[in-house]
């Protein structure tokens, strides 16, 4: 990003603010206090992806701790906050449990409301008019396009997020994961499975 | 450590909360993300507790909002200007940079005498 020339008032010259930011970075790097790589890593994490791992930890805890799961389904906001993931926008979190007969799918038909403290930044497709409309009108077709074919006897429930209520799907724990600990389980939980357009990963063949 | 700082950053709630649109972080120019990255990286490395930076940030945001009527800046630009000022103050406070070297280095970048960060 140091080679970037955008935003200057004159061709080639940085704005005052850019100059100040570059001056700080160059002094910090020169003094060996931090590296541009360390800064790059933080920027990448915040630009892309601060969150899905937070949601994965919530799900893994619910898979391993029945008490926590009960609390999570009853009062998602409090149970998620207990793990340290606050909703900086003050939204109410509702957690939806997938079962052998019910599959939950989350959308925001109005804009792109999204539980970012647990899921990070929304994927591009989540914000497209096509997803927002079709998740409601033909959810099974949308799921099929994501590679998720559900049997006919599974009911699909679609939940429309709003500024006040954000939804997180609690996917079913994959079979064959009985021996796994919380951290290993969290690694199986994908962002898509917590939106409801996918399933958790299946552990590598044991 | 890094996780704890990220949590502190994500949990900032008042006037110091990161600018967002529909829940997404807003960066309008690369320098804004860079300023964020520096402040977080330094706290990750243990150079200061996040709250130290946050106190400076709250003060800068409050001061900027008093001047806001004259400013044509977008909310994100105004916010990250305060963020940058908070970062400068934090580093000066800790004696990591001197005001003179910061001023000199800034002038070098502003005039084009220096172009590369390294």
Rounded to two decimals, the ipTM of the complex is 0.92
Q: Three-state SS across chain A? A: CCCCCCCCCECCECCHHHHHHHHHHHHHHHCCCCCHHHHHHHHHHHHHCCCHHHHHHHHHHHHHCHHHHHHHHHCHHHHHHHCCCCCCCCCEEEEEECCCCEEEEEECCCCCCCCHHHHCCCCHHHHCHHHHHHHHHCHHHHHHHCCCCCCCCCEEEEEECCCCEEEEEECCCCCCCCCCCHHHHHCCCCHHHHHCCCCCCCCCCC
Does the beta-carbon distance from B30 to A7 stay under 8 Å?
A: yes
Report the chain B residue with the minimal C-alpha distance to residue A53: B3
Does the beta-carbon distance from B47 to A47 stay under 8 Å?
A: no
Contact by Cβ (8 Å): A181, A165: no
Res A7 pLDDT > 70 = no
What pTM does this model have? 0.55
Q: Residues of B with CB below 8 A from A121's CB?
A: 23-25
CB neighbour list of residue A87: distance below 8 Å, 6 or more residues apart = A77, A80, A81, A93, A115, A117, A166
Q: Residues of A with CB below 8 A from B110's CB?
A: 13-14, 16, 19
Q: Which of B57, B36, B51 is nearest to B4 (CA)?
A: B51
Report residue B104's pLDDT band, with 50, 70 and 90 as the boundaries: very high
Q: What is the pLDDT of residues A162-181, one digit of tens each?
A: 878 899 999 999 999 999 99
Does the beta-carbon distance from B118 to A28 stay under 8 Å?
A: no
Q: Give the pLDDT mean for B1-9.
A: 72
Number of A/B CB contacts below 8 angstroms equals 156
Min Cα–Cα distance to chain A from B65, Å: 18
Q: What is the pLDDT of residues A38-84, one digit of tens each?
A: 998 888 777 655 557 789 999 999 999 999 999 999 999 999 989 87
Does the beta-carbon distance from B31 to A13 stay under 8 Å?
A: no
Highest mean pLDDT range out of A138-142, B4-8, B15-19? Answer: A138-142
Min Cα–Cα distance to chain A from B1, Å: 13
Closest partner residue to A29 (CB to CB) among B7, B88, B117 is B117
Min Cα–Cα distance to chain B from A88, Å: 5
User: CA B34: distance to chain centroid?
Assistant: 9
Report the chain A residue with the minimal C-alpha distance to residue B12: A88
Report the chain B residue with the minimal C-alpha distance to residue A124: B24
Q: What is the pLDDT of residues B43-84, one digit of tens each?
A: 999 999 999 999 999 999 998 887 765 566 788 889 999 999
């Amino acid at each position: 990003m140091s080679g970037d020339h955008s935003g200057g008032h004159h061709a080639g010259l940085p704005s005052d603010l850019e100059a100040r930011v570059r001056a700080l970075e160059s002094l910090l790097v020169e003094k060996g206090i931090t590296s541009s790589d360390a800064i790059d890593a933080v920027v990448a994490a915040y630009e892309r992806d601060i969150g899905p791992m937070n949601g994965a930890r919530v799900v893994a805890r619910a898979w391993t701790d029945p008490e926590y799961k009960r609390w999570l389904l009853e009062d998602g906001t409090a149970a998620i906050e207990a793990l340290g993931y606050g909703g900086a926008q003050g939204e109410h979190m509702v957690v939806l449990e997938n079962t052998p007969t019910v599959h939950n799918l989350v959308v925001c038909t109005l804009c792109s409301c999204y539980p970012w403290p647990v899921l990070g930044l929304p994927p591009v497709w989540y914000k497209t008019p096509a997803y927002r409309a079709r998740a409601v009108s033909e959810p099974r077709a949308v799921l099929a396009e994501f590679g998720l074919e559900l049997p006919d006897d599974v009911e699909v429930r679609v939940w429309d997020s709003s500024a006040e209520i954000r939804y997180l799907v609690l996917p079913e724990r994959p079979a064959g994961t009985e021996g796994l600990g919380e951290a290993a389980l969290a690694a199986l939980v994908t962002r898509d499975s917590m939106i409801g357009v996918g399933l958790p990963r299946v552990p590598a063949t044991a | 450590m890094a996780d704890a700082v990220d949590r502190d950053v994500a949990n900032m709630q008042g006037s110091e909360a990161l600018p967002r649109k529909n829940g997404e972080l807003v960066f309008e120019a690369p320098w804004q993300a860079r300023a964020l990255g520096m402040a977080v990286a330094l706290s990750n490395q243990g150079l200061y507790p996040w709250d130290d930076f946050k106190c400076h940030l709250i003060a800068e945001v409050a001061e900027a909002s008093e001047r806001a009527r004259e400013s044509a800046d977008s909310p994100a630009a105004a916010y990250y200007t305060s963020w940058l000022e908070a970062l400068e103050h934090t580093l000066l406070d800790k004696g990591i940079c001197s005001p003179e070297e910061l001023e000199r280095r800034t002038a070098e970048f502003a005039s084009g005498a220096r172009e590369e960060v390294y």
